[in-house]
Amino acid sequence: MTIKRLFQEAERLLSEAGLVGVKVSPPKSPEFGEAFTPYPFEEARRSGGNPLSLAESIVSRLGRGEFIGHVEAAPPGFINFHADWARFSAYTVREVLRLGPREYGGSREGEGRVVLVEHTSVNPNKALHIGHARNVYLGDTIARTLAKTGYQVYVLNYIDDSGAQMASVLLGFLELGMPAEPPLGVRFDEYCGDQVYVEVSRRVEADRRLEERLRALAKKIEERESSEFKYARLVSDKVLSNQLLTCWRLGARYDLLFRESDVVVSGLWSKTFNILQGRGIVYLAAEGPNRGCWCVDLSSHPVLSKEGDEILVKSDGSTTYVARDIAFALWKLRDSDVEIRGREWGVNPDGTPIIITETETGAPIVFPRPEKVITVVGSEQRRPQEVIRYVLTKLGVNGGRYLHYSYERVSLSPDSARRLGVESAEARAVQMSGRRGIYIKADEVLDELKRLAAEEVRRRHSDWPAGKVDETSEAIARGALRYSILRSEADKAVVFDLREATRLEGDTGPYIQYSVARSYRILEKAADAGLKAKPTPHGPLTSEEKMLVRSISFLPLTIEMAAKSLRLRQLVTHSRELAVNFNEFYEKCPVIDGGEHAQFRLALVEAYIVAQTSLMELIGIPVLREM
């Protein structure tokens, strides 16, 4: 509870003074206390009275609380509640240590409710690049945050093994004579993306007759009995196995791998299409550029109508990805009765099983009906995602249950691009293009971050064995990349810089990790000195102690707000605030040599470790005891 307990106390005092239902909120700055309400200002604006006088009148009627030290009326008409630091700090530290990192910061807000989170969803014809890493990080952090607040979360990865990109790889292997096995030392996903797909794209651009072969292949891999369908399964499964190694390195886990091809071969699409036809949501275009295609009538949509109708089935009978996504959305929402079957594919690093769709064999896949389905996909898919929501609404499904979590692109700073072998003709960020082969793989970035981290680790710890250097450097690399991507709001573009991400000072993941390693060092010294922690402070707290207690206490509220808004940056911001406040406490407040304050300060260090560890596990930054 921590800060929420103080909020409840403030609301109780207001209620006892006759102001029932008045809510309090966190103030923008600690100088305004730990909670405030603008009620007097808002009420005076309605009634025409003096807001400050009303605030003073209310304050004069308030009783005393356990954790609230004093209450003040502040211009232009606010009421600020300040903590009784002796009691509040003892309560906060004791509560944090009682709960531990697994439970502290969590809640039961989502208890009894189910959410499906779909993320990653990379075409199985390439290795993951740095832009895909943003998708993984966002989706995984959403899943972790919702689970922390009590939701039952299922994580899906939609394997796009249909369509033109998959057909391009098959064209290279089956008709253009490209070797089916990669060169020695090259991963299969890298080979397909870096060499096969790029070369096929080059040849198609040079010989437009190959476009017809691509379309034919795209149609054949939707036919369950065709040899092309079976071959596409083999290729996509090999790529997927490699891709998941990267996803696990990025910290993700999955419950279900849903093959896009199973939308068609399972009958899910055909039944959805029949419903769309029966309700007049789609029509067969008789003329114009869409002649012979089945399209969604978007004429009644206020925005989409301006861009024309959406094709679902092409004139050759092949489906578009929007068509398949509509059927998949119905299944995710549990508004389709089509049975999808699956089998166990393997296990996540945490030991939990992963199911993959398998129409030929396997058992029925059953999930509880979700309150919400969150699909993490880039902003360039805004129109297709809105088409899906529109069609769902036309089908009588609550479109509000289907959420497109949009994000902007990731590009590399010119310096980082050069380090990874991509020369930028202009002194600006470099964006990626799989077709052109400008393709910065996530593993390459992590490897370079790890190399930079290892240089610093060896400089600081020349006596460490190679294995420990490797393990620590990998953890630093993972924390650096994840933090640098998540510290920007999803709707902001990210320009990633390798050197910036690995700095131990400033707004970086390693700065957070270093603060925790520093706190563990204090615990070691305290153990050597025989010092025992005690959560009750001895005398008044310093400003540094107050700020650290304050940021620790606000953690549950921050997590709850992030779960409701899905604005994940506030988690990263709070983690950095915790680290900054701890480091200022570390510099100004001796622990081992703290005299009569030593026991409380040691307990505060322990509470910091619990709070920061809880938050780092949520964000996905590895915790290090030494750096």
DSSP string, 574-589: HHHHHHHHHHHHHHHS
Which pLDDT does position 450 carry in this prediction?
A: 94
Which pLDDT does position 417 carry in this prediction?
A: 77
Which pLDDT does position 434 carry in this prediction?
A: 54
DSSP reduced 3-state for 563:
helix
pLDDT in tens, 207-263: 888 988 998 998 899 888 899 999 999 999 999 999 999 999 999 999 999 999 999
pTM of the predicted model over 0.85: yes
* Dist CA 76 CA 600 (whole Å): 38
In a domain, 79, yes or no: yes
* Dist CA 22 CA 36 (whole Å): 11
* Amino acid of residue 610: V
* Dist CA 179 CA 410 (whole Å): 32
The DSSP-derived string for 79-140 is: EEEEE-HHHHHHHHHHHHHHHHHHHTT--STTTT-EEEEE-----TTS--BHHHHHHHHHHH
pLDDT in tens, 32-76: 999 999 999 999 888 888 999 999 999 999 998 899 999 999 999
Which pLDDT does position 115 carry in this prediction?
A: 98
The domain that holds 63 is classified in CATH as: 3.30.1360.70
Which pLDDT does position 426 carry in this prediction?
A: 57
Which pLDDT does position 568 carry in this prediction?
A: 97
Which pLDDT does position 438 carry in this prediction?
A: 58
Which pLDDT does position 106 carry in this prediction?
A: 95
Structure tokens at 313: 């089935």
* Dist CA 68 CA 83 (whole Å): 4
Indicate the pairing of strand 372-376 with strand 114-118. parallel
Q: Kind and range of the H or E element at 442?
A: helix 442-460
Mean pLDDT within 172-179: 94
Mean pLDDT within 557-564: 96
How confident is residue 402, by pLDDT bands cut at 50, 70 and 90? Answer: very high
607 with 105: CB under 8 angstroms? no
> Which percentage of the chain shows pLDDT scores above 70?
97
In a domain, 35, yes or no: yes
Please, which residues have CB within 8 angstroms of residue 425's CB and are 6 or more apart in sequence?
A: none
How far is residue 495 from each of residues 380, 446, 510, 511, measured CA to CA in Å?
A: 17, 16, 18, 19
Please, which residues have CB within 8 angstroms of residue 55's CB and are 6 or more apart in sequence?
A: 40, 41, 73, 74, 77, 78, 79
Which pLDDT does position 164 carry in this prediction?
A: 85
Which single residue is written with the structure tokens 């999930």?
A: 367
Looking at residue 192, the DSSP 8-state letter turns out to be I
pLDDT in tens, 446-499: 998 999 999 999 999 999 999 999 999 999 999 999 999 999 999 999 988 878
Please, which residues have CB within 8 angstroms of residue 261's CB and are 6 or more apart in sequence?
A: 161, 162, 221, 222, 229, 232, 233
Decide if pLDDT at 193 tops 60.
yes
In a domain, 133, yes or no: no
66, burial (CB in 10 Å: exposed 0-12, middle 13-18, buried 19+): exposed
DSSP β-bridge partners for residue 156: 118, 256
Mean pLDDT within 431-440: 60
In a domain, 601, yes or no: no
In a domain, 160, yes or no: no
In a domain, 196, yes or no: no
383 with 304: CB under 8 angstroms? yes
- Omega before 30 cis (within 30°)? no
Which runs of consecutive H residues, i.e. helices, occur in 197-226? Answer: 197-206, 210-220
Phi, psi (degrees; rounded to nearest 5) at 260: -60, -35
In a domain, 74, yes or no: yes
Mean pLDDT within 577-595: 97
How confident is residue 432, by pLDDT bands cut at 50, 70 and 90? Answer: low
CA-based diameter of the chain, in Å? 87
Rg (CA), the chain: 28
CA atoms within 13 A on the CB side of 411: 15
183, burial (CB in 10 Å: exposed 0-12, middle 13-18, buried 19+): exposed
What are the CB-based long-range contacts (under 8 Å, 24+) for 226-229? 228/170, 228/174, 229/261, 229/265
437 with 194: CB under 8 angstroms? yes
pLDDT in tens, 276-322: 999 999 999 999 999 999 999 999 999 999 989 999 999 988 889 99
Least confident interval from 179-183, 359-363, 446-450, 529-533: 359-363
Which single residue is written with the structure tokens 């972790």?
A: 144
Structure tokens at 199: 């070369």
Which pLDDT does position 190 carry in this prediction?
A: 95
Count of residues making up the chain:
627
Please give the mean pLDDT across all residues of the chain. Answer: 93
Mean pLDDT within 91-106: 97
- Residue 44 belongs to domain spanning: 3-83
How confident is residue 593, by pLDDT bands cut at 50, 70 and 90? Answer: very high
In a domain, 167, yes or no: no
Decide if pLDDT at 26 tops 90.
yes
How many domains does the chain fold into? Answer: 1
Indicate the pairing of strand 294-296 with strand 310-313. antiparallel
DSSP reduced 3-state for 150:
coil
Decide if pLDDT at 559 tops 90.
yes
Please, which residues have CB within 8 angstroms of residue 453's CB and are 6 or more apart in sequence?
A: 472, 473, 476, 477, 480, 502, 510
Under the phi-then-psi rule, with left for phi > 0, alpha for psi from -120 to 50, and beta for the rest, what region is 611? alpha
How confident is residue 2, by pLDDT bands cut at 50, 70 and 90? Answer: confident
Which pLDDT does position 341 carry in this prediction?
A: 96
